[in-house]
Structure 1
Amino acid sequence: MLISKENITSIIPQRAPFVMIDSLLDANETGFNTEFKITADNLFLDNGILSESSLIENIAQTCAAGFGYLNSLIEGGEPKLGFIGAVTQVQVIESAKLNDVIETAVQILSTFDTIHLVEGTAKSNGTVLLSCQMKIVLA
């Protein structure tokens, strides 16, 4: 683990109650991995089921954490803001539930200057919940 739950906001711009990742497990020039446990106080939880849009946000925050961590190694200081330019190829397979642990993997497919095309997959207990591609622009 690279960054624990207690320190995750040092590398992402999101703040409670909108933080959708607990820890950054791995980050390198090809991709990032995070974990997130769904707790009862999650704003996106309805009748014990997590909304699909929150899994997309989880993937976006995995990108923020990964790029934030890598940038902190190079530049130090505050994490850079990023913007989602597009979300495509969304596949919703299964819903996440209260107390599930979401393991998210993001692979960087291509980079042009500050624009990154990534593919993200959110899983729980080895089962794919959602996958998508995103264009992320770092400010």
Structure 2
Amino acid sequence: MAIDLSIYKILPHREPMIMIDQFTRDSDTMGTAVKQFSGDDYGCENGMVLQGILIECVAQTIAAHHGQTNLDKADSGPAMGMLVTIDHFEFFRPVPQDAEVTIKVEKTDEIGSFHLVKGAVFHENELVASGQIKIFNA
């Protein structure tokens, strides 16, 4: 799967650090992304996707949600932000380097520019990782 070029309108990341290929805004608080990994992708090592990259997939999915929301409101599109904390992230099984994953996020709370997000990563419809992150959007 190639990167959907519209992702550049909603996500501030660029190659080689783009960790989602497609994004769908499901609601005001939820979104879904897809990433097709290949062996030469950043974050693939020894035939597997590194666990930290799965967390980055969650962070970029919520960043895409924020960017799509801005674009829908005719604002500027992608906004700069950062991952602030990782909380209760669990990994249930490894993801092979040539796998396609689906990432689901839900913004559960916000205080100003800080957002609490629940994220889950699936491979072949099986949950492979889940947890919470806190992000800051500028």
Same fold, judged at TM 0.5 (above): yes
Q: Which amino acid is 2:63 matched to?
A: A
Greater mean alpha carbon deviation, residues 129-138 or residues 53-62: 129-138
Q: Distance in 2 between matches of 1:28 and 1:138?
A: 19
What residue ranges of structure 2 are gaps of 5+ in the alignment?
A: none
1:56 aligns with 2:55: yes
Greater mean alpha carbon deviation, residues 23-32 or residues 46-55: 23-32
When the two structures are superposed, what TM-score results if normalisation uses the length of structure 1? 0.91
When the two structures are superposed, what TM-score results if normalisation uses the length of structure 2? 0.92
Q: Superposition RMSD on alpha carbons, in Å?
A: 1.3
Distance change (3 Å), C-alpha of 1:69 and 1:78: closer
Offset of residue 30 of structure 1? 1.9
1:131 aligns with 2:122: no
1:1-139 → structure 2 map (5 Å cutoff):
5-139=4-138
1:32 counterpart SS class: strand
1:70 counterpart SS class: helix
What residue ranges of structure 1 are gaps of 5+ in the alignment?
A: none
Q: Which runs of 4+ in 1 moved over 4 A?
A: none
Q: Distance in 2 between matches of 1:133 and 1:111?
A: 13
1:24 counterpart SS class: strand
Equivalenced residue count is 136
Q: Distance in 2 between matches of 1:19 and 1:107?
A: 20
